[in-house]
Amino acid sequence: MFFLPDTPRWYYIRDRMEEGDKTLSRLYGVYRNGMTNYGAVAEIQNMKSTIMASLRVEEESENKLTLLSIVWDNTPLRVGRRIRISFMILGIQQSMGINIMVYYMTRIFSEVGLSDFMASLIAALSLTLQWMGSWVCIPTIERIGRRRIMMLTGSVQTLCLFVFMVLNMIEHKTDATRWAAAMIIFPYLFFYGWGWVGCPWLYGPEIAPLRYRHIGSAAGLLGVWVFTFITVFAGGIALETVGARIWIWPLVFNVIAVVFVYFMCPDPTGKTLEEIDQLFAKDGALVDQLNHPSIEKELDGLQEIENSA
């Protein structure tokens, strides 16, 4: 990490133009094998102008983050809404049943009717399956998209939890019922690992404006802490008092997750950080300003790079 540069946006927002220009040139391969790629020079000129336009819009007073805008957002770039989404999506992630599953898994399988040894074995296998599902996210997140992955996996998890809850509420369970209840946890954990282990952690900081990205990340961590505490603290008590009906709670949150992503979470897949600002911009004039910046003076450093090549 000591040898890696910071991002161009980070340099530009601190007025370190030359370092930002050099980093952009390296990212786009302006100089490769002793040759100058003039097509890349034109591309980074356009990229720098877009970055600078986005930074200027984020710096405007009407786009400042306030406590009021977090509750009721009237900013042109919807800054408050983006911070709220960071909080909510990670809070929902912790309320989808995973904490109750992980903390009380052996006990849950024992109450299904399995022996202690078999309950421990299946718990270990199911958590391994969740780990395997998280690896599926890596090659698919850019191909399928964050939004579609979270909606798809959330829908499958909802179905799995519904079946699990119904099977657990049967009073006189047969061996087939017990094994069916145990096995339905496997696809639930696999799809949770695929769609809801990594995607929410990436989504929150990704959609936050550069100026407030640290606040977006902090809001997400707050959501994790609050909802983890609630589910772990209340989960054990609920299992004692209401039994299998506890699964109504995560079932509802899985439905909420799908609905929330559908209505509140535009897909940033394949977009630059500047294009993400356009996703949340309130009006067409602001989108046009971000799309067609006029900042010729900021390109001087890149022109010097091109002329010296």
Q: Rounded to the nearest 5°, which phi and psi values hold at 18?
A: -60, -40
Per-residue pLDDT of the chain (309 residues; tens, 9 = 90+): 788 888 888 898 888 988 888 888 888 776 655 555 666 677 778 888 888 877 777 777 566 777 777 778 777 788 889 999 999 999 999 999 898 888 888 877 777 677 788 888 888 888 899 999 999 999 999 999 999 999 999 999 999 999 999 988 888 878 888 888 888 999 999 999 999 999 999 999 899 887 888 889 999 999 999 999 998 888 888 888 888 888 999 999 999 999 999 999 999 998 887 788 888 877 654 555 556 554 444 445 444 444 444
3-class SS string, 119-171: HHHHHHHHHHHHHHHHHHHHHHHHHHCHHHHHHHHHHHHHHHHHHHHHHHCCC
Q: What 3-state DSSP class applies to 115?
A: coil
pTM, whole model, 2 decimals? 0.81
